[in-house]
């Protein structure tokens, strides 16, 4: 299981990257992180929403309420232009850390 601090730090690029694929809502974002990390990244589900609100407050994502076919209300988030730029910067930083660690561990680094 991945440590608390790393989970918190990675939540931002994870959310932004998932929203890069298109509009999505909280529960589906969580499911996707869960699947992609082979259940290694586990968030306290309620904690996702303050992160989403923070990203919205910073103008990195935009939100809208919509009703599903079954009549349920859902808040959908999508990436803003500013968020797209931030994601590019985040990618560079995370890959730099990743590549440094790979070199130290004598693994093959991932190219951008």
Partner 1 sequence: METKTNFDLTGAIDSWRRQLLAQGEILPAELRELESHLRSSIDGLNRLGLKEEESFLLACRRLGHGKPIAAEFAKAKPYRLWHNRLNWLTAGVMGAYVWTTSYSFFSSVLCKNWNFAGENGWLVEIMLFASIIGGLVWVTETRMRGWWRRIGGILDSPWRIAFGWLLVVVIGQVLAYVTSQYVARPSPGSDGGLILIGASIESFWQSLTLRFGQA
Q: Which residues bind partner 1 (CB under 8 A)?
A: 25-27, 31, 44-47, 49-51, 53-54, 57, 65, 72-75
Reference 10, options 35, 42, 53, 39; nearest CA is 42
Q: How large is the C-alpha radius of gyration of the chain? A: 15
């Amino acid at each position: 299981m991945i440590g608390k601090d790393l989970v918190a730090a990675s939540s931002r690029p994870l959310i932004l990257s998932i929203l890069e694929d298109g509009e999505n809502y909280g529960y589906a974002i969580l499911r996707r992180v869960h699947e992609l990390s082979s259940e290694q990244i586990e968030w306290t589900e309620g904690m996702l929403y303050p992160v989403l609100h923070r990203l919205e407050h910073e103008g990195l994502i935009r939100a809208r309420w919509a009703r599903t076919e079954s009549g349920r209300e859902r808040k959908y988030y999508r990436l803003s232009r500013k968020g797209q730029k931030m994601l590019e910067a985040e990618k560079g930083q995370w890959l730099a850390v990743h590549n440094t660690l790979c070199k130290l561990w004598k693994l093959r680094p991932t190219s951008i």
